[in-house]
A and B are shown apart, each in its own frame.
Chain A
Amino acid sequence: MKKGYLGFFVSLFLLAGTAWGDAIKIPVASPFTGQLASFGEGVKNGALLKGSEINASGGIRGRKVKIVLEDELCDPKEAATVATKLANDPAVSIVVGHLCSSATLAALPIYRAAKLPAISPASTNVSIGKMSPFYFRNVYKDDFQGLFLAKYAHFVKGYKKVAIFYEVNDYSMGLMLAFMKEAKKLGIKILGTEAYTADTTDFKPQLTKFKMMKPDAIFIPGYAPQGTLIVSQAVSLGIRNAGFFGADGLDDDLMLKNPDAEGLFVTTPFLPDKAGPRAAGFIRAYRKAYGKDPNWFAANSYDAVGLAAAAITAVGQDRVKIRDYLASINTREKAYEGVAGKTYFDKNGDCLKDAFVKEIRGGKWVSAQKQLRQ
């Protein structure tokens, strides 16, 4: 795998080298080092793969594409620095990024002021689209994710009583509110909500309360490092018959090390074996280049680079024209057909995409047998 990786980079470098002078730059901004580097790796791999495929098939209007990786560590301050650099570079006409919602929110006003369009492959915070006409994303929002989870819990799992254990941050609370709103409509009873902060390791007092409520399931709209502790502490307290589920924040291989997490399910924007025929070639090429299956970060950034390239192909490198082009992709018929489904934007630049469910079986992430179609 390592060898293939190296060869891939060398070939990419050579490809870029042949047309160095007039290559079209597409910057990709994400955390590539630091705590969330594992999330950023998918973004990097997907973007580089799409870039090399575009170049292999003749580039854009006869010019090569150069994917420029910009590391911002998921840190809002770094994101703002990167955004300023990109906004002031006349060779940059569109940005793919950022990954974390907090980084996207920090970069957003800078791109807006510079009239520089950007596509985020991964930021799900609800307010991003409304804040700038220049921001687009090819991932669903947290309000949709919460709603979808409520429907799945009701229609597929048949849960009647759910307890919610959320982290005190925008992502987690947004998910919880969306879930509760839909749960109320569907008649799922919310037995109780409890909160924790990111530095907590003792979840037993709150879980003890949940135990007395006898929920059918516990919804954890947080991140995997705490999620895995919550699950094993719940089981050690004797909460045995309750299911556990969460959103994309729990979608991390860290969960797989926990034997108590068997059966836990999460939402995800992309599943290799549920993706349409369009994705087959992508999955094959990805496996060949990186020796593993693409995750949703890879699929979405592959599509985001594809969208950016489509825009430049259609209208050239004028920032405002690219923005108008992206905004015009506003119906299902005009949608960009990507490997992670169709992307088309509403008036805010947000998109409506399918969500999938995957669960832990035998210590591995597998696609849930029953998926829910919209």
Chain B
Amino acid sequence: MGPLHELLDQSSLFLQQLVNGITLGGVYALIAVGYTMVYGVIQLINFAHGEIYMLGAFLAYTMVTVLHLPFFVAFILTILLCSCFGILLDFIAYRPLRQAPRLAALITAIGMSIFLQNLALMIWGSQIKSFPRELLPAVFSRPALVLGEITVSWLQIFILTITVLFMAILHFIIHRTQVGTAMRAISHDKVTSALMGIGVNRVISFTFAVGSAMGGMAGILVGLYYNAIFPTMGYIAGIKAFAAAVLGGIGNVPGAMLGGGVLGIAEVLGAGYISSEYRDGISYAVMIAVILFKPSGLIGKPTGDKV
């Protein structure tokens, strides 16, 4: 093998890893947005968000395998159901504690996370489930683009398209609609917003619905991408996405997208080039490094007393 070959191999290895990293980053971003929106509005780190993501994967799996719904129907139904779960979660667990100290809501969030995880364990069992390939659109298992040694699959393209599309929709909602304006108002000052006639609880419910929809969607996409659905999948993904949200600047939606992307690429390149045993360590190290030098995150605004 000549040096030119070597160089080509090395660069295609890098590009392939980059494609893997961007896909993973897109998924992290989808979950991170849910954390960051809820935090922005009610300053709560919703630790049960990872479980919504897990439920999304399981619901779609059940709809496809048990109810034999076409994949895209299951995809949309799951997203709607996850929105409802998000609203329900807020209604049952967080709304009664709105005036309580923030620590109480945080502990409730952890409790809900454990509850939902065990509920899934009871319903679906601990074994890893995968979508049966014959029930998925055939195009998912086909490569979309083969350039020498680089393969981009239709599934990767689907994941990235969905991610970008929904981020754009989200951006539009936050900045161009009435409810988005209300969300931004509440994130500045809940009490004053209420005095101005904004239905605070309704807007918070809406925030949970949107965040949970994105989380559930990420769950389905990851379940497809890695072929693995299991009750504890939300835990690690949740922590990673939380890290992504913090990395970008918690409470900041574009920050969550950027954070997700950086974290995904750092993780994959770390696993590919440094050490696959310490891949999680590497991604957290990146996060810590950013927070050390820029405590408000990559594009977060410094705030006085939020954290």
Residues of A at the B interface (CB closer than 8 Å) are 35, 168, 194-197, 199, 201-202, 204-206, 208-209, 211-212, 225, 228-229, 232-233, 236-238, 254, 257-259
Contacts and interface: CB of A to CB of B under 8 A. Distances in A.
Contacts of A232: 130, 227
Given A206-B272, A206-B276, A211 B149 contact: yes
Interface in B259-306: 267-269, 271-272, 275-277, 279
B73 to A, nearest CB: 24
Contacts of A35: 126
Nearest to A225: B128
Given A197-B277, A205-B279, A238 B143 contact: yes
B127 interface: yes
Nearest to B275: A195
Contacts of A238: 143, 146, 151
30 contacts: A35-B126, A195-B275, A195-B277, A196-B277, A199-B232, A201-B226, A201-B233, A204-B268, A205-B17, A205-B267, A206-B271, A206-B276, A208-B16, A208-B20, A209-B13, A209-B272, A212-B9, A212-B12, A212-B13, A225-B128, A229-B226, A229-B227, A229-B228, A236-B155, A238-B143, A254-B128, A257-B130, A257-B132, A258-B130, A259-B133
A205 B12 CA distance: 13
Given A201-B233, A205-B271, A212-B149, A196 B226 contact: no
Interface string B98-137: 0000000000000000000000000000111010110000
Contacts of A233: 226-227
Contacts of B52: none
- In the complex, which of the residues A199, A208, A228, A238 has the most CB atoms of chain B within 10 Å of its own CB atom? A208
Contacts of A254: 127-128
Contacts of B17: 205, 208
Query: Which DSSP category, helix, strand, loop or mixed, fits chain B's interface?
Result: helix
Contacts of B12: 212
- In the complex, which of the residues A197, A202, A232 has the most CB atoms of chain B within 10 Å of its own CB atom? A202
A202 B226 contact: yes
B24 interface: yes
Contacts of A194: 276
A74 B232 CA distance: 20
B6 to A, nearest CB: 10
B276 A205 contact: yes
Contacts of A201: 226, 228, 233
A35 B121 CA distance: 12
A238 B271 CA distance: 19
Nearest to A194: B276
A195 B275 CA distance: 8
Contacts of A199: 232, 236
Interface in B1-38: 9, 12-13, 16-17, 20, 24
B153 interface: yes
A191 to B, nearest CB: 13
A236 B141 contact: yes
Nearest to B141: A236
A258 B127 CA distance: 14
Given A196-B276, A205-B271, A232-B227, 19 more contacts: A168-B277, A195-B275, A195-B276, A197-B277, A201-B226, A205-B17, A206-B271, A208-B17, A211-B16, A212-B9, A212-B12, A228-B128, A229-B128, A229-B226, A233-B226, A238-B143, A238-B146, A254-B127, A257-B130
